[in-house]
Chain A
């Protein structure tokens, strides 16, 4: 339904997107996750035909967005980052205008507009001027605009941006609800939000699609093995010999050795199990452990490291490819 092939966008010299590709065929909520400036909005603008790509193409329901824009655009409802509202209109007038522009039959405009207002909960303010509405209501007017003409694909650029917690929950519920019979592509820079409502997550950073997968898969990908640090009253060699006998730990690394003490750092899948084994191994050897601690990186931290300094935790290129093709 939505096919994006190798999108590249450059402004004068600076490239913004470096070849983003994905394909969406089934209904559901698809979350675009990435820090600000990663290229989420640019990608969405290109998909909806508001912006041209330097290279690559977008096909919506079999229609190329550049070559057959009218057919393709009928299948898309788009809410840009700043809702495109005419401030001196009422929501009802505004929605009627958009519905007519989307080619809704004259006899159906009224019904469709009323239905979409009902769904987004803006019926109470239908006759007030949009400029007098609160930010949450404006956002909802924007969302209800995307539903007109019954498009299969709905694209929402940061739909919860700048809203209060209650409004955020409401919008999230609405997005989830709509995802049952639409393809919803929404963007956000908040990881929990994307995880909470998406059926599929795509992480974009620095103009590249890094990962795409189910939220659980994403979690697996991001979850790093906890790091265990120990300090024992033993020489480095002694401690190394003992650690070598313990199963389930990797990446053993000497931190320091001084005055009969030595410190090591290692990683383990199962922290609790590994810590127990280490403890008994040293106990059997009659050597005292003075420190045994572990440190786990939260998903949020891992995400931040992944998207900001991609070299800090540079995803193995082969692995990246694998994840992409698996879900691509």
Chain B
């Protein structure tokens, strides 16, 4: 695995890519710091990071787009398949390399609150907790980006698709506010979500029975609960989307709260997406 990490880092930093990514993120960190902390005079570095999290929408897809799609395009995945290494090692190795590239600008940003504190009051504790959360948010998004890049051999499509997914994660909870909050609407929306999940399952595994069972189970359980007590369905869909949204989870930190549930959530998202990335590669061999 160390070998894979070394190779990936070599590829990131040999070309311009690793530097470019770090430079752009730092540039925005600088702009937002000047804007939020210096011009507007806020004492909280959290606000800066909070604003910056928007940049992830564009930067993370660029960071992860080529990771697996390029292997497929250049047929180097055949080398990886024929080497005596586990696919999980390949995926985790690549992921760790991505985290390392992400960590460089984040660590440099860690100096900003210290610098700012020389010129005024800065709440350092919340600033650093937020910086960790900021990194975790990036890490969770990167695991999704890595998964998306395993689906296609075209970098641009991988980037575009990740961007679309992130955009949905970013605005998703706002959009659900526009949906009717009645119990029946929530039930319908949740069943629709179940169907979408089953469809994704079918595309990934090609197993129609598993997909059908997912839909059936989803419909039966939801209708059963709905008939027992439809009150809990009121506004449920937007609450579910809100609690699943990575960005909503991150905003909790901006209020200066160290939310361990969110940390666990970020880590679960990472593990889940790395897991299905390995399976997505494995499937290529079995198709």
Cα of A97 to Cα of B86 in the assembled complex, Å: 15
B76 & A70 in contact (Cβ 8 Å cutoff): no
* Contact, CB under 8 Å: B78 / A97: no
Cβ of A101 and Cβ of B83 under 8 Å apart? Answer: yes
Interface residues contributed by chain A, number (CB under 8 Å): 31
Instruction: Say yes or no for B14: interface residue by CB 8 A criterion.
Output: yes
- Contact indicator B81/A101 (Cβ below 8 Å): no
Indicate if B286 sits at the interface (CB-CB under 8 A): yes
Contacts from A to B (Cβ < 8 Å): 11, 45, 48-52, 69-74, 76, 78, 80, 82, 84-89, 93, 97-98, 100-103, 145
Query: Using a CB-CB cutoff of 8 Å, which residues 1-54 of chain B contact chain A?
Result: 3-4, 6-7, 10-11, 14-15
**B84 CB-CB contact with A under 8 Å:** yes
- What 8 A-B pairs are tightest by C-beta distance, nearest first? A84-B79, A73-B84, A100-B3, A50-B81, A84-B76, A78-B82, A70-B84, A101-B83
Contact assessment for A49 and B81 in the assembled complex, using a CB-CB cutoff below 8 Å = yes
Q: In the complex, which residues 61-85 of chain B have their Cβ closer than 8 Å to any Cβ of chain A? A: 74-79, 81-85
Interface SS of B by simple majority:
helix
Complex contacts, A87 vs chain B, CB 8 Å: 74
Closest-CB distance, B69 to chain A (whole angstroms):
14
Return the contact of B83 from the options A80, A89, A98 (Cβ within 8 A). A98
A11 to B287, CA, bound (A): 7
Contact at B84–A69, with CB atoms within 8 Å?
Answer: yes
Given A50-B285, A97-B3, A100-B3, A86 and B83 touching (CB < 8 A)? Answer: no
Report yes or no: A97 in contact with B7, Cβ–Cβ below 8 A: yes
Q: Report Cα–Cα, A93/B74, bound state, in Å.
A: 17
Closest to A81 in B: B75
**The one of A71, A84, A100 that contacts B78, using a Cβ cutoff of 8 Å:** A84
Instruction: Report yes or no: A51 in contact with B14, Cβ–Cβ below 8 A.
Output: no
* Most A CB within 10 A of own CB, among B6, B15, B77, B78: B78
A80 and B75 contact, Cβ closer than 8 Å, known pairs A52-B285, A93-B10? yes
The smallest beta-carbon distance between A23 and chain B, in angstroms, is 21
**Chain A residue nearest to B90 in the complex (CB):** A101
Given contacts A86-B11, A88-B11, A97-B3, contact A49 B76 (CB under 8 A): no
A-B contact count (CB 8 A): 69
A85 partner residues in chain B, CB cutoff 8 A: 74, 76
- 5 A-B pairs within 8 Å (CB atoms) are namely A45-B78, A48-B82, A69-B84, A78-B82, A86-B7
Alpha-carbon distance between A298 and B285 when the two chains are bound, in angstroms = 41
Asked if A88 and B14 sit within 8 Å, CB to CB, the answer is yes
Q: Tell me which of A45, A52, A74, A100 has the highest count of chain B C-beta atoms within 10 A of its own C-beta.
A: A100
**Do B286 and A50 touch (CB < 8 A)?**
no
Type the 1/0 row for B201-224, where 1 means its CB is closer than 8 Å to any CB of A: 000000000000000000000000
Which residues from chain B contact A93 at a C-beta distance below 8 Å?
10
Which chain B residue lies CB-closest to A155?
B82
Q: Which residue of B lies closest to A148 (CB)?
A: B83
The CA-CA distance from A89 to B77 in the complex, in Å, is 16
Complexed CA–CA distance, A49 and B84 (Å): 10
Query: How long is the Cα–Cα vector from A73 to B82 in the complex, in angstroms?
Result: 6
A51-B84 contact given A80-B75, A84-B74, A84-B75, CB 8 Å threshold: no
B78 adjacent to A101 (CB under 8 Å): no
Q: Which residues of B are found within 8 Å of A82, using beta-carbon distances?
A: 75
User: Chain B contacts of A80 at CB under 8 A?
Assistant: 75, 78-79, 82
Q: A49-B82, A50-B285, A52-B286 are in contact. Are A101 and B14 (CB under 8 A)?
A: no
Given contacts A52-B285, A89-B10, A89-B11, contact A98 B79 (CB under 8 A): yes
Instruction: Indicate whether A88 sits within 8 Å of B285 (C-beta atoms), given known contacts A50-B81, A73-B83.
Output: no
Contact of A103 among B11, B74, B84, B286 (CB under 8 A): B84
Residue among A11, A69, A98, A101 having the largest count of chain B Cβ atoms under 10 Å: A101
* Chain B residues in 8 Å Cβ range of A49: 81-82, 285
Q: What are the residues of chain A within 8 A of B76 when measuring CB–CB?
A: 84-86
Q: In the assembly, what is the distance between CA of A312 and CA of B3, in Å?
A: 54
- Closest residue of B by beta carbon distance from A87: B74
Find chain B residues with CB under 8 A from A103 CB: 84
Q: Cα distance A93–B86 when bound, in Å? A: 21
- The answer to whether A102 touches B84, judged by C-beta atoms less than 8 angstroms apart, is yes
CA of A50 to CA of B76 in the docked complex: distance in angstroms? 11
Bound CA–CA A89/B7 (angstroms) = 9
The minimal Cβ–Cβ distance linking A139 to chain B, given in whole angstroms, is: 14
Once A80-B75, A80-B78 are accepted as A-B contacts, the answer to whether A101 and B85 lie under 8 Å apart by CB is yes
Q: How far is the CA of A52 from the CA of B81 in the complex (A)?
A: 11
Q: How far is the CA of A84 from the CA of B76 in the complex (A)?
A: 4
Q: Chain B residues near A145 (CB, 8 Å)?
A: 79
Nearest chain A CB to B112's CB is how many angstroms away? 33
- Given A85-B74, A89-B14, 18 other A-B residues pairs in contact with their CB atoms under 8 A: A48-B82, A50-B81, A52-B285, A52-B286, A69-B84, A71-B84, A73-B82, A76-B82, A80-B79, A80-B82, A86-B7, A86-B76, A89-B7, A89-B10, A98-B83, A101-B3, A101-B85, A145-B79
The distance in angstroms between the C-alpha atoms of A73 and B11, with both chains bound, is: 25
* Residues on B with beta carbons closer than 8 Å to the beta carbon of A70: 84-86
> Separation in Å of the B20 CB from the closest CB of chain A?
14
**In the complex, chain A residues whose CB is within 8 Å of the CB of B75:** 80, 82, 84
Q: Return the CB mask of B73-108 against A: 1 if under 8 Å, else 0.
A: 011111101111110000000000000000000000
**A102 vs B4: C-alpha distance in the bound complex, in angstroms?**
12
Residues in B153-205 with C-beta less than 8 Å from chain A: none
Contacts of A69 in B (CB 8 A): 84
**A145, B75: Cα distance in complex, Å:** 15
